[in-house]
Amino acid sequence: MQPTTLEGPTASTSPRPGLGLWIKVARPFSLSAAVSPVLVGTAVAIYAGVFRLPEFLATLVAGLCLQIAANYFNEYFDYRYGLDHAESLGASTVIFRGEMSAAQVLGGGIASFGAAAVLGVVLIFLVGPAIMLFGLAGMAIAYFYSGKPFQFSTRGLGDVMVFLAMGVLMTWGAFYVQIHQWSWMAIAASIPIGCIVTAILNMNNTRDLRDDAAVHKLTLPVRFGERFGQIFHAVLIFGAFVTTTIFVITRVLPIFSLAVWLVFPLAYINVNDVLEARQEPVDAPAPGQRRRAYIIGIQRTAQLHLRFGIVLAAAIALAGLTHIRF
């Protein structure tokens, strides 16, 4: 497939898009990827006895803006580089249908970046210049996840970048804006959050395996196969619960953190359905049932990520407020 050019009516002209289209390209179902790490990082600060509402709100909205920007850039660059087509499952296809122009989608990403940058300036004023490192790293990953020259998503490095950005960086960053210091607890709490957000991406890549392979987008499922994607999903989801338990046993996280096991039944159903999503041959002309299982898997994993994050954040905060530290 040849790279799509920006010439022609699809790229250069479109009616003025309504709010619904802008929201669609922002992929609101994926925004838990920004909410959960901010909640958990802030909860670790509460455990340490500090909570500043302005810093929390600025961090949360900045994180959402970066996630939205990443989604816009992904939509634009996958179109620009010929990685999507009108029938792509992962794309919103608004450019191909002429509902939005490529320039409008790119502009949405730039505008979201701008909003994040403004909030970054606010955080610099509130916290200090060191917070710039978190912001610049987040912006770089959001842009170069899909954009050249790095295109992490096409090199099989998307999972690593998402784990670092939406797991470690955002969780620790949310803690750092409250308390300007290193925290092993914040790092530990970021690991299970990073596992589940990476599982969302992996499920997306497993669903899109055939389309990605056709355009040489070398995601991990393309490199190692559909079964790898399914097993990797199970490892990431179950790994979130296992790592949380290990950190409790080693007293890095408070014992209340074990409350995350309350959402384990949802995780088990999620993983079981994904592992059984092989009722049609991989080379079937239209493997609709299997793909539907993955689409549902993406939605359920995003919901699990948010619920897991809320429970973990509430547990850590409660441990701090009650001074129960064992």
Helices (H) and strands (E) in the chain, counts: 14, 0
pLDDT reported for residue 32: 83
Token pair for residue 194? 């990073």
Place of tokens 């320039």: 103
Q: Given this model, what pLDDT does residue 293 score?
A: 79
Mean pLDDT of 26-55: 92
| pLDDT above 70: residue 145 | yes
Least Cα distance to 169 among 287, 272, 55, 37 occurs for 37
Give a yes or no: residue 13 inside a domain.
no
In a domain, 7, yes or no: no
Contacts of 241 (CB under 8 A, 6+ apart): 192, 260, 261, 264, 267
The domain tally of the chain equals 1
293 falls within a domain: yes
Mean local confidence (pLDDT), 110-116: 93
Mean pLDDT across the stretch 306-319? Answer: 96
The model's pTM is 0.86
Q: Which amino acid is at 13?
A: T
- Position 87 scores a pLDDT of 56
Q: Is the residue at 300 inside a domain?
A: yes
Structural domain containing residue 147? 22-322
Would residue 194 count as lying in a domain?
yes
Share of the chain above pLDDT 90, in %: 49
* 8 Å CB contact between 162 and 135: no
Q: What pLDDT does residue 7 have?
A: 42
Give the DSSP letter string of 189-242.
HHHHHHHHHHHHHHHHHHHTHHHHHHTT---HHHHH-HHHHHHHHHHHHHHHHH
Greater confidence (287 vs 64) lies with 64
Cis amide prior to 287 (ω within 30 degrees): no
68-77, 80-89, 181-190, range with the lowest pLDDT = 80-89
CA distances from 208 to 6, 7, 90, 212, 218 (A): 24, 26, 7, 6, 11
Is residue 296, in this structure, part of any structural domain at all? yes
Instruction: Report the percent of the chain where pLDDT is more than 70.
Output: 87
Between CA 315 and CA 311 the distance in angstroms is 6
Question: Measured between alpha carbons, how far is 241 from 141 in angstroms, rounded to an integer?
Answer: 27
The secondary structure of 28-49 as a DSSP string is GGGGHHHHHHHHHHHHHHHHTT
Q: Distance (Å, rounded) from C-alpha 26 to C-alpha 7?
A: 24
**pLDDT mean over 86-93:** 56
What is the CB-side half-sphere exposure of residue 279 using CA atoms within 13 A? 11
Phi, psi of 182 (to 5 degrees): -75, 150
pLDDT in tens, 161-176: 999 989 999 999 999 9
Amino acid (1-letter code) at residue 70: A
Task: Please choose, from the candidates 215, 178, 277, 234, the residue with its C-alpha nearest in 3D space to the C-alpha of residue 90.
Answer: 215
What average pLDDT is seen over the chain? 85
Give yes or no for residue 136 having a pLDDT over 90.
no
Q: How far is CA 108 from CA 23, 74, 100, 103, 307, in A?
A: 10, 11, 11, 9, 28
Highest mean pLDDT among 7-16, 127-136, 195-204: 195-204
> Measured in Å, how far apart are the chain's first and last C-alpha atoms?
58
What is the reported pLDDT for 85? 58
Contact 124, 176 (CB under 8 A): no
Q: Considering the domain boundaries, does residue 17 fall inside one?
A: no
Whether 12 is in a domain gets the answer: no
Backbone angles phi, psi at 52, to 5 degrees: -120, 115
pLDDT, tens only, 203-255:
989 988 888 888 888 899 999 999 999 999 999 999 999 999 999 999 999 99
Q: What is the total residue count of the chain?
A: 326
